[in-house]
Structure 1
Amino acid sequence: MNIVKRAKAPTPKFFKVLRNIGLVLAAVGGTILAAPVALPVVISSIAGYLAVAGGVLSAVSQITTISDHKNAVQ
């Protein structure tokens, strides 16, 4: 199954929840990074990690699919 088919295939409910959490983390991280005020380096660093972690979590959760029993690897 190629990446486009995987992205379009149905996603299990648990991974939909994880995808949404990842999107929120990425949004929070991006908002903190784009803040117009000077923030301490530690906060900017944490915001960068949040944005990356949220993006990865969302991407991995989106390509997780529901497979039929006969197609599952055993």
Structure 2
Amino acid sequence: MIGPLPRLHRIGVLAAVLLVCAAIGAWLGSSPSIPFLVGTGLVGGAAVGAVAAYALLHQPHTHDSRPRHRHR
């Protein structure tokens, strides 16, 4: 988790992670030693990138156990 970021920076991190992971997937798909297609590697890399971006940018929600208002 990176921490609280402004919306523009979160979009930039998301785009960068997706781009890097998709490029790595396409590169692995074009490698002759691994029998994948470039498109399959691209989609798989983008999926891994989406999960990684979610893990990096997700803010855990803390639930306060105390009630906010006292009922009468």
Smaller-chain TM-score bracket: 0.3 to 0.5
Structure 1 length normalisation: TM-score? 0.41
Taking structure 2 as the reference length, the TM-score comes to 0.42
Q: Which has the higher helix share?
A: 1
Relative contact order: is structure 1 or structure 2 higher (C-alpha 8 Å, sep ≥ 6)? 1
